[in-house]
Structure 1
């Protein structure tokens, strides 16, 4: 069978829903779990090696099922909910009218107040998170660019399903997931450093990681935090 990049396989093929992905940076076939989409992502360095990657995935069916079963339940953006922001539990409160969401300091901690009902309320909360993410990530990106004496880049904010960020050195653009604004500030700073460092080295070679270390020091705790807590951040608003 000829497999192709982006192809989705039915659950009976590998025991779980799966999507095929080609990543030229990959050195060998691998599997990652996309908790937000509820599927496994089977990765190969080239499209020709997707067959090899699928064969490898078949040996990991039990592991993939276990990981997908561990997905956290969704946490809707609704009045009364408590969601993380800058790594701190933040309560969502509805107010009269249709005003935009705003962050305030309450007597018991941070609070986000917003107008709107149902989907409108959730949309206002998400828009606030996106605005805060752009503000913070743009500032940290510019900081790391100055450190490396790099020219400016175009920064965009998106809601990617799995990747926290991506860098395109050829057109000098970086895209971030707004959801990282829910993580502690040091984790968001690491993400900015991670993507800016790709302007120097496009791969994940030792030379690349030495650039990241120059920017944020020991990067391993931040990477571990995203691995451990990332699925719960992707569950917010679901």
Structure 2
């Protein structure tokens, strides 16, 4: 049977929803869980290896079911909800009217105050989080660019399903998921360093990781944090 990049397999094929993905930079067959989409992603380094990764996934069916069952429940952006901002629990409150959302420091900690109702309220809060993400990530990106003596880049904020960031060295563009603004500042700083380092080395070679280490020191705790908490961040606003 032939397979193609991006193809979705019916749930009965592996016992879970699954999508095929080709990543030329991948060094091996792998499986990751896309908690936001509710599916397993089977990754192969080339399209001709997609059959191999499907065969590999048959032996991981139990693990995939377990991981998908354990994904966090959705956490809508609604009044009285608690969401992390810069890693700090932040309460959402309604202000009445149609005012834009704003982050303030309350007596019991940070609070987001916003006008609007229902979807309009959620949209205002999400727009605030995107603005905060852009401000913080642009600042850290520029800091790391200066450290490495790199020219400026164009930064954009997205809501990617599976990647916290991406770098296109050929057109000097870096994209970040706005959701990283909910992580502790050191994790967001690591993400900026991770992407800026790709301007020096486009791969994930030892030379690349040495650049990341120069920028933020030991990167392993930050990568571990994203692995352990990333699904919960993707559940916010869903």
- TM-score (normalizing by structure 1): 0.99
Give the Cα separation in 1 of the matches to 2:88 and 2:170: 37
Structure 1 alignment gaps of length 5 or more: none
Deviations 1:47-82, CA, capped at 9 Å, x for gaps: 111111111111100000001011011111000001
Give the Cα separation in 1 of the matches to 2:156 and 2:58: 37
Moved runs in structure 1, 4+ residues, more than 6 A? Answer: none
Residue 213 of structure 1 deviates from its aligned partner by: 0.2
After superposition, where does 1:40-79 map in structure 2 within 5 Å? 40-79=40-79
Q: Match for residue 194 of structure 2?
A: 194
Q: Match for residue 181 of structure 1?
A: 181
Give the Cα separation in 1 of the matches to 2:139 and 2:53: 39
Q: Match for residue 30 of structure 1?
A: 30
Q: Match for residue 234 of structure 2?
A: 234
How many residue pairs get aligned? The number is: 238
Give the Cα separation in 2 of the matches to 1:85 and 1:117: 21
Residue 222 of structure 1 deviates from its aligned partner by: 0.4
Q: Match for residue 114 of structure 2?
A: 114
Deviations 1:19-53, CA, capped at 9 Å, x for gaps: 11010110111100001110000000011111111
Residue 96 of structure 1 deviates from its aligned partner by: 1.4
Q: Match for residue 104 of structure 1?
A: 104
Give the Cα separation in 1 of the matches to 2:119 and 2:84: 19
Give the Cα separation in 2 of the matches to 1:142 and 1:188: 13
Are residues 1:124 and 2:127 paired? no
- TM-score (normalizing by structure 2): 0.99
Structure 2 alignment gaps of length 5 or more: none
Residue 14 of structure 1 deviates from its aligned partner by: 1.1
Root mean square deviation of aligned Cα:
0.6
Q: Match for residue 2 of structure 2?
A: 2
Give the Cα separation in 1 of the matches to 2:146 and 2:22: 33
Q: Match for residue 149 of structure 2?
A: 149
Residue 170 of structure 1 deviates from its aligned partner by: 1.2
3-state SS in 2 of match to 1:99: coil
Give the Cα separation in 2 of the matches to 1:77 and 1:187: 22
Give the Cα separation in 1 of the matches to 2:170 and 2:44: 23
3-state SS in 2 of match to 1:48: helix
Give the Cα separation in 2 of the matches to 1:163 and 1:138: 18
Give the Cα separation in 2 of the matches to 1:22 and 1:145: 30
3-state SS in 2 of match to 1:24: coil
Q: Match for residue 204 of structure 2?
A: 204
